[in-house]
Amino acid sequence: MKKQIVIATHNTNKLKEFKSLFEGTPYEVLGLADIKFNGEIKEDGETFADNAVIKAQTIHKFTNLPVIADDSGLCLNALDGFPGVNSARFMEGLPYSEKNAAIIKMLEGYSDKSAKFVCAIALVGLEKFPQVFIGEVKGMIINEERGKEGFGYDPIFFHPNSQKTFGEMSIKEKDDISHRGRATSLLFEYLKTHYF
């Protein structure tokens, strides 16, 4: 029987990405809906790593299963890393098409359109202390949404080496280079060494 591991998210897109990453491993991936968790988690950390650990520890207390939680976001160099840890809460409740339009507008007066996606993944429940893995990918913000794949800020985040936005990439293409893909591969190296 497969061991269970919880991905601390209600986001079906994110869950789908993690399920594809866990294919062929001894673990069955569960989401928050599977463990019937509907509580609020106050993510008030100062860094992506802080928030990932807060989330993972909260869910681990609830379920006692090992938990993987991530916190990720977009950091714009011209705006001192804004929206950063507030990426999901920026213009909360509005669709990402409106958030993306707002980001494009905010950068209008700047020649520096460089940006990075950062992802911190926390693993809680397998070791005495939380393990944290951080991945980053650099790119730039373009002036219009391109592509229907991905989610969030993906359609305005252009990856120069690929000559595509994250919104134009398949899950597989994105996994290979994305911030979440990089943080996850560090997590997997760790899991393979210790648990697979």
Q: Is 71 designated active site? A: yes
Check: CB of residue 32 under 8 Å from CB of residue 9: yes
Report how far residue 42's alpha carbon sits from residue 37's, in angstroms, rounded to the nearest whole number.
14
Report how far residue 167's alpha carbon sits from residue 154's, in angstroms, rounded to the nearest whole number.
5
Report how far residue 30's alpha carbon sits from residue 9's, in angstroms, rounded to the nearest whole number.
9
Within 22-167, residue ranges assigned H as helices are 48-63, 96-106
> Which residues share a beta bridge with 67?
6, 124
Q: Active site residue: 44, 71, 112, 176, which one?
A: 71
Which residues belong to the active site? 71
